[in-house]
Amino acid sequence: MNEQPFLLASGVSHRFATSVALDGVHIEVHPGEVVAIVGESGSGKSTLLRVLSGQMSPDRGDVQYIDHTGCRHDILQSRERQVRSLMRTEWGFVYQHAADGLRMNVSAGGNIGERLMANGHQHYGRIREQAMDWLRQVEIDPARIDDFPKTFSGGMQQRLQIARCLVTHPRLVFMDEPTTGLDVSVQAKLLDLIRRLVAKLRIAVVLVTHDIAAARLLANRILVMRNGQVVEHGLTDRVLDDPQHPYTQLLVSSVLAA
C-alpha cells in the first residue's frame, strides 16, 4: 500500500474475567482497502471490531484514526459524542443482525433518510429521491420505500441496512458477520452486492467473518485470529493459498473438505 494507514491500532489487549479476548493485537487499515478478520467463535474478532469502532475500551492499547481533513483522533480517549460524530459522518457500521442497525418501525425510506438528515440534508424531495436511488442500488424495489423493515425478508433487511450505512459515503465501514443466518443463495448475492458497492465507492472496510469464502471474495488483506491473537496476516491470496500457521491451515482445509 502506497498510502499511509488511516486507522491504526497497536498493543490492544483485553480480558473478560479469566478469559483473554485480545492479546497485543496490531492492525492497520489503508484508505480504500478491505481487511478481513477471520477466526472461529471466541477468537476475539468481534471484540476487536468493537474496540476499533470505539464501542468498547480495552484494558491496554492504542487506536488512532486520521479523518479526511488530516485530523488525528485518539479513539480510546475520545468522548462518546466524538465517536458518535465519526460514526454518523466518516464511519458506518453494518451489524450481524439487521434489526440492530435499523429502526424497524420506521419506513425503509425513513431509515435511509434519517442518516442523510443527520448529515445536514434538509430538502424532503431530494432526501426521498436519494432514498429511492439507494433502494435500487441494493436491489430493493423503490415502490417499497414506505414499507416497514419488519415486513422485509432477512436478506432485504440486511440490504436496507447497507443502504442506510452507505448513503452518506463513509470513508470506513465496519461489518460484523453481515451474512450470518441467511440462506446460502442469499449470502452469495449479498456478498456480490457488497463487493460491487465497495469497489464503486472506494471505501475501506473492516470485515469480521468466520466465512473464508467471504474473506477471499471481498478482502485485500486478511488477519487470522485465535485465542485473542493474530496468528497470521497478509495479502488474502497469499494467506489462503499458502497458509503458514497450523491454525490457518486447519481453517483452509476445513473449507476445502466441506
Tell me the pLDDT tens digit for each residue of 104-141.
Answer: 999 999 999 999 888 777 788 899 999 999 999 999 99
**φ and ψ at residue 179, rounded to 5 degrees:** -105, 0
For residue 247, what pLDDT is reported? 95
- Does the pLDDT value for residue 150 go beyond 80? yes
Contact 201, 44 (CB under 8 A): no
- Does the pLDDT value for residue 48 go beyond 90? yes
Contact 181, 154 (CB under 8 A): yes
For residue 181, what pLDDT is reported? 82
Instruction: Classify 161 as helix, strand or coil.
Output: helix
pTM for this model (two decimals): 0.94
- Of the pLDDT bands very low, low, confident and very high (cuts 50, 70, 90), residue 258 is low
Q: For residue 189, give every residue at least 6 positions away whose Cβ sits within 8 Å of its Cβ, in sequence order, or none.
A: 139, 155
Tell me the pLDDT tens digit for each residue of 223-251.
Answer: 999 999 999 999 999 999 999 999 999 99
- Does the pLDDT value for residue 1 go beyond 60? no
